[in-house]
Structure 1
Amino acid sequence: MILQVDGPDGPRDVRLTSPDKVTFPKPGITKREVVEYYLAVGGPMTRALRDRPTNLKRFNDGVDGDPFFVKRVPKGAPDWVRTCTVTFPSGRTAESVAITEPATIAWAANLNTLDFHPWPVRCADTDRPDELRIDLDPQPGTGFADAVAVAGVLREVLDEAGLTGWPKTSGGRGLHVFAPIRPEWDFIEVRRAVIAIARRVCRRIPERATVDWWKEERGERVFLDFNQAARDRTIASAWSVRGLPDATVSMPLTWDALAGVDPAEFTLRSVPGILERHGDPHETMDERPGGCATALGWYAEDESERGLGEMPYPPEYPKMPGEPMRVQPSRAKRSTGENSG
Structure 2
Amino acid sequence: MTPITEVEGRRIALSNLEKVLYPRGGFTKAEMLHYYATVSGPLLAQLRDRPVSFLRFPDGPEGQRFFSKNLPPGTPEWVSTAEVPHAEGPTRQVLVQDLATLMWAANLVTEFHTPQWRADAPGVADRLVFDLDPGAPATVVDCCEMALWLRERMGEDGLEAFAKTSGSKGLHLLVPLEPAPSKQVTAYARGLAVQAGRALAGRATHLMKRSLRPGKVFVDFSQNAAAKTTATPYTLRAVAEPAVSAPVTWDEVAACRDPSELVVTAQEVPARLEAHGDLLAPLMDPQRARPLP
Normalization by structure 1: what TM-score?
0.79
Q: Separation in 1 of the partners of 2:74 and 2:214? A: 47
The change in CA–CA distance for 1:132 and 1:265 in structure 2 (over 3 A counts) is: closer
Aligned to 1:51: 49
Aligned to 1:306: none
- Contact 1:171–1:263 (Cα < 8 Å) also in 2: no
Q: Separation in 2 of the partners of 1:256 and 1:12? A: 42
Q: Separation in 2 of the partners of 1:201 and 1:189? A: 18
Deviation (angstroms), 1:37? 0.5
Q: Separation in 2 of the partners of 1:42 and 1:13? A: 18
Matches of residues 1-341 of structure 1 in structure 2 within 5 Å?
A: 1-6=3-8, 11-88=9-86, 90-113=87-110, 115-185=111-181, 187-260=182-255, 262-263=260-261, 265-287=263-285, 288-292=288-292, 294=293
Q: Separation in 2 of the partners of 1:43 and 1:134? A: 24
Q: Separation in 2 of the partners of 1:244 and 1:264? A: 14
Deviation (angstroms), 1:160? 1.8
Secondary structure of the corresponding residue to residue 55 of structure 2: strand
Identity of aligned residues (%): 36
Which amino acid is the alignment partner of residue 214 of structure 1? K
Deviation (angstroms), 1:265? 4.3
Deviation (angstroms), 1:25? 1.8
Deviation (angstroms), 1:129? 1.5
Q: Separation in 1 of the partners of 2:72 and 2:210? A: 35
Secondary structure of the corresponding residue to residue 74 of structure 1: coil
Deviation (angstroms), 1:227? 1.6
Unpaired runs of at least 5, structure 1:
295-341
Q: Separation in 2 of the partners of 1:73 and 1:239? A: 22
- Contact 2:237–2:243 (Cα < 8 Å) also in 1: yes
The change in CA–CA distance for 1:81 and 1:189 in structure 2 (over 3 A counts) is: same
Deviation (angstroms), 1:214? 1.5
Structure number with higher strand proportion: 2
Deviation (angstroms), 1:109? 0.9
Deviation (angstroms), 1:274? 2.3
Moved more, 207-216 or 159-168: 207-216
Which amino acid is the alignment partner of residue 291 of structure 2? G
User: Larger relative CO (CA 8 A, sep 6+): 1 or 2?
Assistant: 2
Q: Separation in 2 of the partners of 1:14 and 1:140? A: 43
Deviation (angstroms), 1:219? 4.3
Q: Deviations over 1:73-106 (max 9, x none)?
A: 2232223311112222x24221111121222221
- Contact 1:157–1:201 (Cα < 8 Å) also in 2: no
Q: Separation in 2 of the partners of 1:17 and 1:70? A: 21
The root-mean-square deviation of aligned C-alpha atoms, in Å, is 1.7
Q: Separation in 1 of the partners of 2:145 and 2:17? A: 41
Secondary structure of the corresponding residue to residue 125 of structure 2: coil
Deviation (angstroms), 1:249? 0.8
Q: Separation in 2 of the partners of 1:93 and 1:147? A: 36
- Contact 1:253–1:282 (Cα < 8 Å) also in 2: no
Q: Separation in 2 of the partners of 1:5 and 1:193? A: 43
- Contact 1:157–1:200 (Cα < 8 Å) also in 2: no
Secondary structure of the corresponding residue to residue 226 of structure 2: coil
- Contact 1:122–1:129 (Cα < 8 Å) also in 2: yes
Q: Separation in 2 of the partners of 1:65 and 1:211? A: 31
Secondary structure of the corresponding residue to residue 167 of structure 1: strand
The change in CA–CA distance for 1:277 and 1:198 in structure 2 (over 3 A counts) is: same
Secondary structure of the corresponding residue to residue 69 of structure 1: strand
Which amino acid is the alignment partner of residue 148 of structure 1? C
Aligned residues: 286
Deviation (angstroms), 1:64? 1.6
Deviation (angstroms), 1:211? 1.0
- Contact 1:20–1:31 (Cα < 8 Å) also in 2: yes
- Contact 2:61–2:240 (Cα < 8 Å) also in 1: yes
Which amino acid is the alignment partner of residue 277 of structure 2? G
Q: Which has the larger radius of gyration?
A: 1
- Contact 2:122–2:226 (Cα < 8 Å) also in 1: no
